[in-house]
Structure 1
């Protein structure tokens, strides 16, 4: 019969489940490293913020016609926290929850890597004239890493005390809101269509709140939504397409082959469940 494993609740765990848990762990490490990287990038970007006396906020068709609501920053993060809770519920009750989890962590980690590059290469003026920004251009590397650690442990949320300026292209809040929304819409039971309506409302409301508090320019949230959708779609297309030896898809396929061997039938099973 082979060896049996038991979890903390006394339930039997098969070798296949053990392998799924290991894949989730690998994806969590990938997400952790990506999140640490973006936290460090945010601190370095904050310390080379454009001089606010020389560079006023850029013209923005939407922001210029929206009222300024400072409380909207916390409202956006409440939307984000609600989506995290809904995602956790959907993942925990789904029979393929481990696969959903590692797919979410892989895509979120990839988006963090992309965001790290984008915020490092281009610095924009602060869109919120009322926001207090503090730069430490003369600080050493260790001081920057310490502040990056503080930013990381606060999950980059204003409600936990994380405050930075300059990390605009593209919006991290919009990215996570969109990724969670797409996963919930993809894997929630078809009989629970109201959940999809809720997550879309949370996604759109969160974006509006981000703009109301001048947390980002409009282009930041548009790019974040578009790239998140494209990465989510591309990953799921990789699962069902034939493997290729063309760069860079060769290495993408190698990763997908390890995480999702013979996924074409599994994917159809998950989506139709």
Structure 2
């Protein structure tokens, strides 16, 4: 009769010493929204995206116009219609991710994690584009791409007009008009599709798990379209898949390390970028968060419309006043 409580107390002590406690979401508590972190990560993503478009505005006048050999290109002729379908698949994937953001119970945590991962990937894409300039893969590059300007013709006004155009269009280009060319290694379309399917698959509640097949199917179709339309080389899509899956897995592997101590002492803890991840996750207890859907602001709206709310507040205030009076008397 005495042994069991002693074992429980010892176990509790070990847990406290180890720095681990159950995730608040698993105990029914809400995780902190921390909107300032979402704002900072959103700014980081915006800067990363703009850096991509700035790189494209610069690279366009440098890259060659003779397409490189590609294995898939040698098997399947260019399919111009596929680019429009590929853009549609990107939209569907991004839409599914946004819907998850809206209805997930812990949407604030999911949003800041997702935006940070996408921001890191776009930063890597900017570095990749600036390091190696691949020529566009279209059969008719000179027809599809805008005219290149030499050093005497180009000026800052042209450069910033290109950047502004890409920013307004959020990176999409009008396929009916001549395009800026050179944003190839690696595929931004594939980045968005793969990260959307991974996020939806990871954060879907168990009873809705079958829905993960939709963004996965959209991604498969979209990646195929990127290659057969010659928008990207096969290597662009392949590297985008590997890097996106790798960054996503590393981030969530860090989150799932059981204790803060183990996080600090792990291999990932020694990587500089994970100091930022540690800051993002400092108020989220280690482990997987509870995946549950809810209608946004439903509880707040219901409380506001509850006719008994005023009476309950009045009773609560009266109870608090009585408690304060008793304490003061004592």
TMscore range, shorter length = 0.7 to 0.9
Q: 1:164 aligns with which of 157, 180, 195?
A: 180
How many Å separate the matches in 2 of 1:15 and 1:111?
A: 26
Q: Which residue of 2 aligns with 1:268?
A: 288
Q: What secondary structure does 2:288 align onto?
A: helix
1:136 corresponding residue in structure 2: 149
Pick from 43, 46, 69: which aligns with 1:29?
Answer: 43
Shift of 1:109: 0.8
Post-superposition offset of 1:107: 0.8
What secondary structure sits across from 2:126 in the alignment? helix
Q: Deviations over 1:101-133 (max 9, x none)?
A: 111111111111111111111112221022421
Query: What TM-score, normalized by structure 1, do the two folds share?
Result: 0.85
Provide Cα deviations, 1:79-101, integer angstroms capped at 9, x if missing partner.
11111111111111111111111
Given the two structures, how large is their TM-score scaled by the length of structure 2? 0.71
Shift of 1:181: 0.9
| Correspondence for 1:208 | 224
2:272 is the counterpart of 1:251 = yes
The answer to whether the 8 A contact 1:86-1:184 is kept is: yes
Sort the Cα spacing of 1:231 and 1:247 in 2 relative to 1 into closer, same or farther, 3 A.
closer
RMSD across aligned positions (CA): 2.4
Distance 1:180 1:59 in 2: 30
State the number of aligned residues.
253
Against the structure 1 CA distance between its residues 257 and 248, is the aligned structure 2 distance closer, same or farther, given a 3 Å change threshold? closer
Partners of 2:270 and 2:221 in 1: CA distance: 35
In the aligned structure 1, how far is the partner of 2:60 from the partner of 2:226? 19
> Which region of structure 1 is more displaced relative to structure 2, 127-136 or 163-172?
127-136
Report what 1:6 is aligned to: none
Distance 1:133-1:159 versus aligned 2 partners, 3 A rule: closer
Per-residue deviation at 1:256?
Answer: 1.8
**Counterpart pick for 1:40 among 54, 62, 65:** 54
Q: Following superposition of structure 1 onto structure 2, how do residues 25-104 of structure 1 map, counting pairs within 5 Å?
A: 25-50=39-64, 52=65, 56-104=66-114
Kindly indicate whether residue 252 of structure 2 is the aligned counterpart of residue 236 of structure 1: yes
1:106 aligns with 2:127: no
Partner of residue 183, structure 1:
199
Q: Distance in 1 between matches of 2:184 and 2:240?
A: 10
How far is 1:264 from its partner? 4.7
- Identify which of 148, 160, 163 aligns with 1:145: 160
CA 1:219–1:15: 2 relative to 1, 3 Å: closer
What is aligned with 2:20? Answer: none
Structure 2 portions without partners, runs of 5+? 1-29, 258-262, 294-330
Instruction: Please tell me whether Structure 1 or Structure 2 has the larger radius of gyration of its CA atoms.
Output: 2
- What residue in structure 1 maps to residue 313 of structure 2? none
Per-residue CA distance 1:132-151 (angstroms, 9 max, x = gap): 21222331233212211111
1:215 positional shift: 0.3
Q: Cα deviation per residue 1:16-40 (whole Å; 9 max; x = unaligned)?
A: 43xx221111110000111111110
Partners of 1:180 and 1:167 in 2: how far apart? 21
